[in-house]
Amino acid sequence: MTDVLPWLVIGVPLAMSFVLLLGGRALDRGAPWLGVLASAASAVLGIVLFVDLLGRPAEDRSVTSATFEWIPAGSFQLSAGLLVDPLSIAFVLLITVVGTLIHVYSVEYMRHDASKRRFFAYLNLFVAAMLLLVLADSFLLLFIGWEGVGLASYLLIGFWNHRPDYARAAKKAFVVNRVGDFGLALAIMAMFAVFGTVTYSGVFGAVEGAGEGWLTVIGLLLVLGAAGKSAQFPLQSWLLDAMAGPTPVSALIHAATMVTAGVYLVVRSGPIFEGAPVAALTVAIVGAITLVMGAVIGTVKDDIKRALAASTMSQIGYMMLAAGLGPAGYVFAIFHLLTHGFFKAGMFLGAGSVMHGMNDQVDMRRFGRLDSVMRVTWVTFAVGWLAILGVPPFSGFWSKDGIIEVAFEGEGVKPWILGSVALIGAGITAYYMSRLFFMTFHGRRRWSTEGEHAVHPHESPWLMTVPMIVLAVGSAGLGWYLYAGKRFESWLEPVVGAVEPEPHVLPVPWIIGLTLVAVAVGLVIAARNYAVQEVPVTVPPTRALGRAARADLYQDDVNEVAVVAPTRAFARGLREVEDDYLAAGVRGLAGGLGRVGAGWGRLQTGFARSYALSMLGGVVLVVGALLVVRL
């Protein structure tokens, strides 16, 4: 492996992004395929790096390529370097492979968009920023990629910014993420203050000598950063509105890039959290709260994309829960992240295919019986649905059920609480994802080919269906392949350490059985309500919990009361103080200086005799002062 190769993985899509942005209209026609080519080239380079690591012994699977001295400041020296190890290369493969499939899908999906060159430039920028984030060998370089991902997400969510609601959604995502970014920035500053370095090797090597108090502070700040980027409680409000962007953007954000960054940050920072039990427990609690919140919100969403977005929030919550439980949890957090990347990308692209065939409609109450006219979309979506439910042998069974098993590990009340939350979440997930599936593809046909709202559902072109088929294959078989023989656990061991088996508060067969029962109950209830019975086109009256879920559990109202309103009041107070005191003070100072200047101006007469007299007076004063001093 050369030092250049990891940089090329990032550099190729980054360079293509600038080429597409600056190339002008001459590139409009070929821009989509140039974007695909850049992402595919990055995927090929990532595979080369992966094969190189495979050929090395486990203890040698960590290669740092330092290119240049980035920040030389006295005794502080920081090089810009990249770290290729089992954790980072797993993310590289997910980002580039799934990202390339989404690029290919987008060629057809955005075919008639006048700004498709700009769209593919932003997609390439998104991929490049995420690759920098996961390949960086220091927290400071990670932060550059972190901010790049935030910028790219803002540009893509608000891509159709001629619509005010879409522009507001992009701004909301940007602002909420800045809160999390502030936490990450403070964490990096604290690392420098405590350890004198921000490189992974330097920080992790000095963790044992640091006090638990400082590690807890740093860990909690990292949790804040992760919560913002991965849409976790209490910074989850932006994710549902992020559906404003084109559907391929939703697939990229929810499957391969942005929302996975927080999970990566926590797992990469494992040594810090292992030395700060309070911070680690906070990660698990945040994940547990969010997985339930997302699941509850998903039970009432009629917009297919927003229902999938709620699902992402919940599934990332599972990953965060696992990431707060130590090395065994790290393994299953990343394991589920990889399998989720395939089945969630497949379902988002399936949602885009449904929209393509239904004149961009997203209301599932207007769907039904699409299985008969969109066979490929139906089959590929069904594979993703079974995977997220955790039905064996699909991928989710091996990864999500693994998280539930890890949550039941340990002693005392904690495993009972966390394990029960994860188990209940599995049942709710089975219900709302089955509701989505049956409302879209089964039940009574609720669309018409005649009249004012006529639609003519049809299967999508092959450029859209082929990526969906590939993702369905991964959704079906990737989980078993990585789980068999503890293959993925062994792969991550050089990074997260050996996984020490712990006793479970329930026997593992019981945990698996209870999980499958919860899934079956959720599926049967959804089938009875949405595949057998007639689905109402209008929203029926609901109880308090249903109304709260439709309002996203009032997360925007809470933000309004807790953050927005106080900030506005503070700003109004500052404005009033400025008007009443500061402005008056500034005006008074300016007037005084003006009067002093006018007085001095009168002395500037322009007559030589006046200046000579002034000089004489000055000489007399100086001589007099000297005489006084001598006396």
pLDDT the model gives residue 583: 66
pLDDT the model gives residue 312: 95
Q: Are residues 505 and 586 in the same domain?
A: no
Q: How far apart are CA 427 and CA 296, in angstroms?
A: 11
Q: Are residues 434 and 566 in the same domain?
A: no
Q: How far apart are CA 180 and CA 161, in angstroms?
A: 24
pLDDT the model gives residue 455: 86
What are the start-end ranges of the H helices in 527-631? 544-550, 555-559, 565-577, 583-603, 608-630
The full length of the chain comes to 631
pLDDT at residue 580 greater than cutoff 80: no
Cα dist from 116 to 66, 158, 301, 340, 452, whole Å? 36, 14, 30, 28, 30
Q: Is residue 20 part of a domain?
A: no
pLDDT the model gives residue 330: 95
Confidence of residue 589 (pLDDT cuts 50, 70, 90): confident
Q: Are residues 453 and 573 in the same domain?
A: no
Q: Which two tokens stand for residue 357?
A: 């065939």
pLDDT at residue 17 greater than cutoff 90: yes
Mean pLDDT of all residues belonging to the chain: 90
Average of per-residue pLDDT across 407-436:
95
pLDDT at residue 322 greater than cutoff 90: yes
pLDDT the model gives residue 631: 59
Q: Are residues 574 and 540 in the same domain?
A: no
Q: Is residue 129 part of a domain?
A: no
At 505, is the secondary structure helix, strand, or coil? coil
Q: Are residues 562 and 539 in the same domain?
A: no
**H or E stretch covering 64:** strand 63-73
What single DSSP character describes residue 367?
Answer: -
Q: Is residue 502 part of a domain?
A: yes
Q: Is residue 442 part of a domain?
A: yes
Look at residues 497, 515, 550 and tell me which one is the last residue of a structural domain: 550
Sequence-separated (6 or more) residues with CB below 8 Å from residue 467: 101, 102, 104, 105, 349
Q: Are 410 and 501 within 8 A, CB to CB?
A: no
pLDDT digits over 73-98, tens only?
777 777 888 999 999 999 999 999 99
pLDDT the model gives residue 151: 94
Q: Is residue 144 part of a domain?
A: no
pLDDT at residue 409 greater than cutoff 70: yes
Q: Are residues 287 and 344 in the same domain?
A: yes
| Portion of the chain with pLDDT greater than 70, in percent | 94
Summary count for the chain: helices (H), strands (E): 27, 2
The total number of structural domains in the chain stands at 2
Q: How far apart are CA 241 and CA 255, in angstroms?
A: 16
Q: Are residues 330 and 378 in the same domain?
A: yes
pLDDT at residue 534 greater than cutoff 80: no
Average of per-residue pLDDT across 472-477:
96
412: alpha, beta or left, given left = phi > 0 and alpha = psi -120 to 50? left
pLDDT digits over 35-69, tens only?
999 999 999 999 999 999 999 998 899 998 877 78
Q: Which two tokens stand for residue 398?
A: 């091996």
DSSP string, 1-16: --SHHHHHHHHHHHHH
Residue-range definition of the domain harbouring residue 295: 276-550
pLDDT at residue 578 greater than cutoff 80: no
Buried b (16+ CB within 10 A) or exposed e, 407-428: bbbbeeebbeebbebbbebbbb
Q: How many CB atoms lie within 10 A of CB 86?
A: 21
Q: Are residues 407 and 536 in the same domain?
A: yes
Q: Is residue 62 part of a domain?
A: no
pLDDT the model gives residue 593: 79
pTM listed for this prediction: 0.89
pLDDT the model gives residue 603: 67
Q: How far apart are CA 204 and CA 190, in angstroms?
A: 14
Cα dist from 448 to 438, 453, 527, 537, whole Å? 18, 7, 23, 13
Cα dist from 247 to 109, 252, 306, 346, 358, whole Å? 9, 9, 11, 11, 14
Q: Are residues 435 and 571 in the same domain?
A: no
Which of 123-127, 285-289, 553-557 shows the lowest mean pLDDT across its residues?
Answer: 553-557
Q: Are residues 542 and 578 in the same domain?
A: no
| Portion of the chain with pLDDT greater than 90, in percent | 69
pLDDT the model gives residue 448: 84
Sequence-separated (6 or more) residues with CB below 8 Å from residue 299: 428, 431, 432, 435, 549
Look at residues 550, 575, 609 and tell me which one is the last residue of a structural domain: 550
pLDDT the model gives residue 520: 97
Average of per-residue pLDDT across 584-599:
76
Q: Are residues 574 and 475 in the same domain?
A: no
Q: Are 134 and 24 within 8 A, CB to CB?
A: no
Q: Is residue 175 part of a domain?
A: no
Q: Is residue 534 part of a domain?
A: yes
pLDDT the model gives residue 71: 79
Pairing state of beta strands 76-84 and 63-73? antiparallel
Which of 196-210, 384-398, 417-431, 533-547 shows the lowest mean pLDDT across its residues?
Answer: 533-547
**H or E stretch covering 212:** helix 212-229
Question: Dihedrals φ, ψ of 44, to 5°?
Answer: -65, -45
Q: Are 432 and 299 within 8 A, CB to CB?
A: yes
Q: Are residues 455 and 569 in the same domain?
A: no
Look at residues 550, 567, 602 and tell me which one is the last residue of a structural domain: 550
pLDDT the model gives residue 598: 75
CA neighbours closer than 13 Å in the CB half-sphere of residue 394: 22
